[in-house]
Amino acid sequence: MSICKVDPAEHSTLAIAPPQVPPTIAVIFGATGDLTHRKIVPAFYHLAKNGLLPDDFAIIGFARRPKSDDEFRQDLEKALLEFSHTKPVDMEIWKKLAAHIYYFQGELDDPAAYQKLAEKLKAIPEAAKIGENYLFYLATAPNYFGEAAKNLKAAGLSSHAGTRHRLIVEKPFGEDLASARELNATLQSAFEERDIFRIDHYLGKETVQNLIYFRFANSIYEPLWNRIYIDHVQITVAEQVGVESRGGYYDEAGASRDMLQNHLFQLFTLTAMEAPASLDAESIRDEKVKVLRSIPTPSLESLAKNVVRAQYGGGFIGGKAIPAYRQEEKVAHDSQTETFVAARFEIDNWRWHGVPFYLRTGKALAAQFTEINIIFKQPPSVLFAAGAESGASRMQANSLRIRIQPNEGIGLSFNVKVPAKAEAEPVDMDFLYKSAQFDHYLPEAYERLLVDALVGESTLFTRSDEVEQAWRLVDSLHELWKKQTVKNLPLYACGSMGPVESDQLLERSGRAWIVPPELKK
């Protein structure tokens, strides 16, 4: 590993290259879990490969299974060879990093284990040069988040004067507004708010970060980004897989808690927010919270008309058989949990008054993609309406497609005249990251987020009030659903784009979901 040569700075990494990572010991709780193997350790490897970790850096894996340091390193190496997004793995880089990886056996709910962890942190060879700069990553089941924070505090490992002990918390952050508030209070009793990093990996995606630059660095779009020119906005997070092995968790959460409360609302707020005063963390997060606060808590009558939920039935996707949701492992046979949700929200502020935002997400859908579509208002067609079979009937509203994944990029749809005919036809103009002439390495989301947490940069992490405002809105949905007396949710076919009720949600106002490129014939 080599030290990153970028000068440190105190402002957002959205504005500059990542600052130098200080010497740190990172402790991963849940170190034998899937997230550690698939995402976290491969991310650390790629940071080392790209010179973004200092020489004085160490990782301790905390888990309950008995394991030696060498066994732990071998497990991680096997996972890295499988899950690294760049191949082949540079074994020289990996072995240099692995030499600084250690294993600690302990129970998450055992206070004595944290006391022993504190001793381990001071006993490893790297401790003398690193000191007490620690990063704790809770890659555990959510019911351990608060317990771990309290135990870290009791062991003297939480934030205190003269130290920067940081805490990364995975999602889901709570299961409703009340539990989110309780968890916030627990974490904030042990760590300062500036040292709590609530992670949402969507915010680490390059295209999501590019939203701020695209909106505010281009004078051709920002003047149009309002109720005068925009008809409506569509945000879709579509998953092609079913719940697979996550049935136990998913049947408690559903699409609204698992995806709407975090991923979709993150995209929503970045799309709708006002220009921040600067690119520092608090300015950007202030504007995101303002968006959520400007969405009134919907009435039950309004929600009944503007929210759709459904479950997938059995079928095939890509030749693979997908059982109906209620037949999935660890799912209740009479489950009322939604695997698809679509909702219409409006923002009660000057910029967006009267502009509907349509959000949808679901599992076992026809394609795997995440995108934001900005649909502009239709121009007057009277100019092209005269005469027989004119181009007016083929004219479409201009739209802007911001593709988050896959095939990251931005596309603009506009009307042109068909050669040799008095007709108009929509065409697309596309920018794709993978075909652009950028010389920069495109990091995975977890790589970017880990660097930011290591240097204390919180722009791409959610703040406590943002989490609570998002839960306020999701809780209103669940309040409605509790009052409904439905025996069975609407079903949609595997490999479709959701139930017919989702299409009707837009059709009632003369609109339709934008068809993604993957599904166009």
Backbone phi, psi, residue 132, to 5°: -110, 35
* Distance (Å, whole) CA 61 – CA 118: 13
Instruction: Dig out the tokens for 80 from the structure.
Output: 């890295």
AA identity, residue 194: R
In this structure, the number of other CB atoms found within 10 A of the CB of residue 61 comes to 28
Using CA atoms, how far apart are residues 264 and 372, in angstroms rounded to an integer? Answer: 10
Q: Would you state the torsion angle of the CA atoms of residues 260, 261, 263, 265, taken in this order, to the nearest 10 degrees?
A: 90
Distance CA 96, CA 221 (A): 47
In eight-state DSSP terms, residue 462 is B
Instruction: State the Cα–Cα distance between residues 82 and 102, nearest whole angstrom.
Output: 21
Q: Residue 422: how many CB atoms within 10 A of its CB?
A: 13
Residue written as tokens 């925009």? 230
Amino acid symbol at 443: P
Q: Could you tell me which of 25, 50, 39 has the C-alpha nearest to residue 123?
A: 25
Give the burial string for 196-226 (b: 16+ CB within 10 Å, else e): bbbbbbbbbbbbbbbbbebbbeeeeeeeebe
Give the pairing of strands 307-312 and 230-238: unpaired
Q: In this structure, what DSSP letter does residue 246 have?
A: G
Cα 480 to Cα 496: distance, rounded to the nearest angstrom: 26
Contact 453, 273 (CB under 8 A): no
Alpha helices in 124-205 (DSSP H): 127-130, 145-154, 177-190
Catalytic residue among 85, 263, 440, 478: 263
Q: How many CB atoms are located within 10 Å of the residue 121 CB?
A: 21
Give the tokens for residue 47: 């940071």
Check if 263 is active-site.
yes
Centroid of chain to Cα 218? 25
Nearest to 432 by CA among 405, 462, 399, 394: 405
**Dmax (CA) of the chain:** 85
- Distance, CA of 41 to CA of 83 (rounded, Å): 10
What is d(CA 242, CA 231) in angstroms, rounded to the nearest whole number?
A: 33
Active-site annotation, residues: 263
